[in-house]
Amino acid sequence: MPLLQRYLWTQAFWPTVLTLAALALLALLTQSLQTLDIIVENRQSALTFLKITGLALPQLIGIILPLAVFMAALYALNRMNGDSEIIVAKAAGASPWQIGSPLVRLGIMAMIAHLIITMALQPLSFREMRAEVLKVRTDLATQLVQPGEFVSPARNLTLYAREISPSGDLLDIIIHDARDAEDVITHTAKTGEIQRTPAGAALLLRNGAVQQTLIDGSLDVIEFKDYRLDLSDAFAFDTRLRLKPSDLYLHELLRPDPRTFVYGTQKQEFAAEGHSRLAAPLYNVALVMIALCFMIRGEHLRMGYGRRIIACAAIGFFVRILGFVAASSAEANLSLNILQYAIPGLTFLVCGVYLSRRRRVYARGSRRRREAYKATIAAMDNPVEASS
């Protein structure tokens, strides 16, 4: 029996890894489309794109891990059924629990990994991702200037820079400031640096000149080595890092700090997110139990398990969707948080009772096979009557 269980473990473990990798790659591609818009609009590098996309991976893995384990369990059990390996195991006296225990252990290991992701890795990576996105959105150099183009970040204000160096310095700058119609000024400088201020932004110019038309029509030119141009009234940023429920740790969700002023509906949203972090890993085991019920119990089907797999997949995905619905509904009603635990818990309980039944389970529509089976048993018990 240990050899059979080790074999079933191998048959399920590697498909789980491959399925998880494939689904994670697909989810990353979907996530990257949203990130790509931010990167393109703010003209960031490919490295920034990869960093922001990769930081979303822990949450994506947390979402798809139960489904990956479920799909791998279906694949492994269908393959063993197709090769009649499960029938041989049953004929050797193995119970459904003995056959399915490797998959249950796999589900428990996935549940533990899922808890680690939701408790630690997801909030840690999401905080870093929020900070990186805020950095991109408030990158003054990319927001204010486009190399080689005249831009107007505010009305009657035109900026030009020939190039932006890798360090962020602007080269060969022209600034035409006509925000004050009575005092039109043109700044030129060889280099410049955009600086953040509490009010917004400022531009530190070096080695340049200020040109201003006087009342008599003459041009006044003043050269400078350093000149600071305030742009706060033209360009302001909200530089505060605002965290969402998905960015918080479990203790911050279930017991928010009173100093953060979390009240009312926001507290309900935090509680729903916290209970979802604890309940979601339970689906790793619950979905495996559904697969065992469909693929281990019942008659051996020589024509394949296509219909049974479709029914099992439909029920498994439906149960998982119910979990998402319960988590969403709990944001409006705290009493519904119990449903987040009840759905996977009842699924495990019902499947466990079904797998523990000793009576032989027949497929629907197999009445003739049942009668033939009973007749065969009766003939074996009374060979004389059967021959007469």
Q: Output the DSSP codes for 236-293.
A: ------PPPGGGS-HHHHHS--GGG---HHHHHHHHHHHHHHHHGGGHHHHHHHHHHH
Task: Measure the CA–CA gap between 154 and 41, rounded to whole angstroms.
Answer: 18
Q: Which residues, at least 6 apart from 240, have a Cβ–Cβ distance to it below 8 Å?
A: none
- What does the DSSP 8-state code read for residue 331? T
Q: Do the beta carbons of residue 287 and residue 295 sit within 8 Å?
A: no
Look up residue 293 and give its amino acid.
Answer: C
Q: Which residues, at least 6 apart from 339, have a Cβ–Cβ distance to it below 8 Å?
A: 326, 329, 330
Q: Where are the domains of the chain?
A: 2-137+243-379, 144-230
Structure confidence at residue 381 (pLDDT): 55
Task: Measure the CA–CA gap between 83 and 300, rounded to whole angstroms.
Answer: 11
Structure confidence at residue 222 (pLDDT): 86
Look up residue 64 and give its amino acid.
Answer: I
Structure confidence at residue 387 (pLDDT): 47
Closest of 149, 222, 160 to residue 192, by C-alpha: 160
Q: Do the beta carbons of residue 306 and residue 368 sit within 8 Å?
A: no
Structure confidence at residue 299 (pLDDT): 65
Position of tokens 């920034």?
48
Structure confidence at residue 9 (pLDDT): 83
Structure confidence at residue 116 (pLDDT): 94
What string of pLDDT tens digits covers the 388 residues of the chain? 577 778 888 888 888 999 899 888 888 887 777 676 666 555 566 777 788 888 888 988 999 999 999 999 999 998 888 777 888 888 877 788 888 888 999 999 999 999 999 999 999 998 888 887 777 666 555 556 677 788 777 778 888 888 877 777 888 888 888 877 778 888 899 988 877 666 566 788 888 998 888 777 777 888 888 888 877 666 655 556 677 888 888 888 888 776 665 665 788 888 999 999 999 999 999 999 999 998 887 666 666 778 889 999 999 999 999 999 999 999 888 889 999 999 999 999 999 999 887 655 444 445 555 565 555 555 555 655 544 4
Look up residue 340 and give its amino acid.
Answer: Q
Task: Measure the CA–CA gap between 26 and 24, rounded to whole angstroms.
Answer: 5
Neighbours of 149 (CB within 10 A): 10
Neighbours of 50 (CB within 10 A): 13
Task: Measure the CA–CA gap between 102 and 72, rounded to whole angstroms.
Answer: 12
Q: SS3 helix, strand, coil % of the chain, rounded to 5?
A: 60, 15, 20
